[in-house]
Amino acid sequence: MDSRSKLFLVSTPIGNYNDITLRAINTLKEVDFIICEEFKEARRLLSHLKIEKELTSLNEHNEEEVSREIFTKIKEGKSAAMISDCGTPLFSDPGLLLVRMCIDAKIEVIPIPGASSIMAALVGSGFNLDKFYYAGWLSPKSDLRIRELLRLKSIKELIVLMETPYRLKAILSDIVKSFKPRIDIVIGFDLTLPTEKFYRGTASELLNIAEEKKLKGEFVLVIDNSKGSRQ
């Protein structure tokens, strides 16, 4: 295998471009080409960093075909950096197929860590961080989501949830129904942005806040279920 064959998984900022690491910048400058989700988002970041590089789009619609093409280029001695639209590649994003192909072929896969909305929400929550359970994205359908929340209720740890901006009120309403209204929650809202804010309170209190303020933005939700729901 050519020693130049490498795949870097480069984490990019989740909102604030100043969160890009020096290692990430240097890696993006040095690789032969960059794999991105959407050209528009990648070009905006690279323009900010004053980096010009060949781009290849790999997304959920073309993953199988493009992964094979990229793998061939890397195997022939090229180095590549994979980025997502924001945050850490592969985390709720495509790219796993290419990573597995490289691992199977003994090609070095190198993660370049960076900003994380999950870690930012956890450390800013004020909750005990000895253990937490990442539940990720729940079903967009309310009946299935409530069923998933009832299952999570049995996990007596911090529970971390991700959701789309427009479903904040819906998921809070379902938490009130499944975990009881007085379960303690922290919402990390618009993390790393100038509008960043932490909302703290019970499920019912935060539901009222979300409705009053008409909150809509990126968020991470942390439920303190370490001692179970309070009635």
Using N-to-C axis directions, what is the helix angle for 168-179 and 142-152, rounded to 10°?
50
Q: Residue 218 in contact with residue 121, Cβ under 8 Å?
A: no
Q: Residue 216: what pLDDT?
A: 86
In this predicted structure, the answer to whether residue 229 has a pLDDT above a threshold of 50 is no
Q: Residue 196: what pLDDT?
A: 96
Is 32 buried (19+), middle (13-18) or exposed (0-12) by CB count in 10 A?
middle
- The Cα-based distances of 5 to 1, 2, 34, 98 in angstroms read 7, 6, 14, 13
Which residue's entry shows tokens 């050209």?
Answer: 39
From the CB of residue 110, how many other CB atoms can be counted at a distance below 10 Å?
Answer: 12
Residue ending a domain, among 112, 136, 158, is 112
Tell me if residue 163 falls in helix, strand or coil: strand
Residues 142, 163: one domain?
yes
Q: Residue 60: what pLDDT?
A: 84
Which residue's entry shows tokens 């075909």?
Answer: 65
Query: For 159-164, what is the mean pLDDT?
Result: 93
Q: Residue 134 in contact with residue 104, Cβ under 8 Å?
A: no
pLDDT band at 230; cut points 50, 70, 90: very low
Q: Residue 231: what pLDDT?
A: 41
High-pLDDT (> 90) share of the chain, %: 87
Q: Residue 89: what pLDDT?
A: 95
β 33-36/79-82 pair status: parallel
Instruction: Answer yes or no: pTM beyond 0.75.
Output: yes
Number of domains in the chain: 2
φ/ψ of 204, rounded to 5, equals -70, -40
- The length of the chain is 231
Residues 103, 122: one domain?
no
Query: For 40-65, what is the mean pLDDT?
Result: 94
Q: Would 230 be classed as within a structural domain?
A: no
Structure-model confidence comparison of residues 37 and 227, the more confident one: 37
Residue ending a domain, among 89, 112, 135, is 112
Q: Residue 152: what pLDDT?
A: 96
61-118 pLDDT per residue, tens: 899 999 999 999 999 999 999 999 999 999 888 999 999 999 999 999 999 999 999 9
Query: For 134-163, what is the mean pLDDT?
Result: 94
Residues 218, 123: one domain?
yes
Q: Residue 135: what pLDDT?
A: 96
Query: For 178-184, what is the mean pLDDT?
Result: 90
Supply 121's token pair.
């929400």
Query: What CATH code is carried by the domain that includes residue 196?
Result: 3.30.950.10
Task: State the residue range of the domain holding 89.
Answer: 6-112
High-pLDDT (> 70) share of the chain, %: 97
Residue ending a domain, among 112, 130, 158, is 112
Which residue's entry shows tokens 């197929």?
Answer: 97
